[in-house]
Amino acid sequence: MTFKANDQVDGLSSGPVADTGVARLTIWFAVLSGVVLLGAVGIWPEQALVFNQEGGLFETISAACLFAAGVAALWRYPGVTRLYIGLTFLLLAERELEESVYPEGSLPFLILDGLDAVLDVTVVRVLLACVVLSGVIWHGIPTGWRAIKQRASFMIVFIVAGCLAVIAQLLEEFTGLHSDALSSVMKTRLFVMEETLEMFFSIGILASVLIGWPKSKSDETSHDKDIRAFPDPS
């Protein structure tokens, strides 16, 4: 069986839509909005704190975007080798939410508490680790490398989102290391900026999923889709 080169990464090139003026305008609008929002929470950290608390607006948006990315990935990119994509995003969404912020006995509390109990089981952790690691090795790394070489739109968004997550983590580490030397206002400022960057990361992940691997329009079987998930070694 032979495959077209453009199909080996499941449509990493997002087609003519990515080259339109509307797409570029949308990207610049998103970047400008993000910069303005980040600047606003940095200037007025105490006012922004209400949106960044546990279970607040920003955390809810982060969890919703990651959950949507996970569901979209499972739906649009079927196959065992690509199961890790949606699974990883769903696990990240679960980590964003804490059951303690919901009333005990409520439906969100029961769902999150049940998920925590299941994920604490060693067998489940080992199984999830095997699925994610095998998917990354067999599909993620080859596909990601090809996407980088082709400068695929989804990979650019994914890398930017990843950089935002790294910056957010560095802010958290910096706050922890220098907590005694920082004023309460500065600690609040760093915290709200960290949470805002994490929200941007989640939005970027969702955008990357929707841009990058469009569902094939051909009537191919699931077996063919699984095979196409492996890039041509040549």
Domain boundaries, the chain: 29-213
**How confident is the model at residue 206, as a pLDDT?**
93
In this predicted structure, what is the pLDDT of residue 213?
53
Identify the CA nearest to 119 among candidates 138, 132, 106, 136.
132
Give 3-state DSSP helix, strand, coil % of the chain, rounded to 5. 75, 0, 25
Q: Which residues contact 53 (CB under 8 A, 6 or more apart)?
A: 59
Alpha-carbon distances of 62 from 24, 151, 195, 206, rounded to whole Å: 24, 26, 9, 10
Could you give the C-alpha distances from 127 to 84, 102, 105, 119, 122, in angstroms and in order? Answer: 11, 29, 29, 10, 9
| Residue pair 230/27 in contact by the 8 Å Cβ criterion | no
Distance CA 63, CA 50 (A): 17
| Tens digit of each residue's pLDDT, the chain (234 residues) | 333 334 334 444 444 444 456 767 877 888 898 899 999 998 998 888 888 887 788 988 999 999 999 999 999 888 888 899 999 999 999 888 877 777 787 787 888 888 888 888 888 889 989 999 999 999 889 988 988 888 888 898 999 999 999 999 999 999 888 888 888 899 999 999 999 999 999 999 999 998 875 444 443 444 444 444 444 433
In this predicted structure, what is the pLDDT of residue 216?
45
